[in-house]
């Protein structure tokens, strides 16, 4: 029974690694990550989970960096595409995370679920921005170097920033109409 679960984890890891590599532009980096995971062996689920949590964090930072370089009001489609890509990468990792949870290691699955919720929230806020009047005032990024966007490092922070931004814009528009 134990041998079957090890083979199952190995098969899932191989599939998720292949899928992860296909979606990742940096193939050399992906190959290094796969080699280090394989050298650790499939018998240590804690290390396997830790390596995938690190990969998730790198993916999140990379995608946040891309979104922050765009303005959601003028580049809404590109932001949505980046968020969609992040969702796909999370879903590719889900089977392995479920297997690890079954083996008593739930951290990866919990992180995937949290990130998925934050991404969905960001998608809905970006969609709301499209409904705003484009009078030139709605720019997500200010010219200021101290703009809070530059300090965003997670999907959760991005989602919260976007929500706060929309709320402040809504308040500004409602005060102008009085």
Total domains, the chain: 1
Instruction: Indicate whether 32 belongs to any domain.
Output: no
**Helices (H), ranges, 44-132:** 45-68, 76-102, 107-131
Which tokens is 78 given?
Answer: 């590109």
**Which of 34, 127, 44 has its CA nearest to residue 83?**
127
Instruction: Indicate whether 30 belongs to any domain.
Output: no
Instruction: Indicate whether 63 belongs to any domain.
Output: yes
Contact 103, 23 (CB under 8 A): no
Instruction: Indicate whether 65 belongs to any domain.
Output: yes
Instruction: Indicate whether 137 belongs to any domain.
Output: no
Q: What are phi and psi for residue 151, nearest 5 degrees?
A: -100, 5
Mean pLDDT of each 10-residue bin along the chain, 178 residues long: 54 51 47 45 81 94 86 79 94 94 93 95 84 53 53 88 79 61
Instruction: Indicate whether 29 belongs to any domain.
Output: no
> Residue 115 is part of which domain span?
2-23+44-131+145-172
Q: What is the pTM of this model?
A: 0.66
Instruction: Indicate whether 140 belongs to any domain.
Output: no
């Amino acid at each position: 029974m134990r041998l079957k679960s090890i083979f199952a984890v190995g098969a899932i890891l191989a599939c998720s690694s292949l899928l992860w590599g296909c979606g990742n532009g940096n193939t050399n980096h992906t190959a290094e990550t796969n080699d280090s995971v394989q050298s650790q062996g499939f018998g240590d689920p804690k290390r396997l989970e830790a390596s995938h949590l690190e990969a998730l964090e790198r993916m999140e930072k990379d995608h946040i960096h891309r979104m922050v370089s765009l303005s959601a009001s003028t580049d809404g489609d590109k932001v949505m595409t980046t968020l969609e890509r992040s969702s796909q990468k999370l879903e590719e990792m889900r089977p392995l995370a479920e297997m690890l949870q079954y083996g008593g290691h739930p951290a990866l699955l919990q992180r995937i679920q949290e990130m998925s919720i934050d991404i969905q929230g960001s998608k809905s806020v970006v969609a709301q921005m499209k409904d705003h009047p484009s009078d030139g005032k709605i720019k997500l990024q200010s010219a200021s170097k101290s703009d809070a966007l530059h300090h965003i490092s997670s999907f959760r922070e991005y989602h919260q920033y976007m929500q706060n931004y929309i709320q402040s814009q809504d308040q500004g528009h409602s005060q102008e109409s009085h």
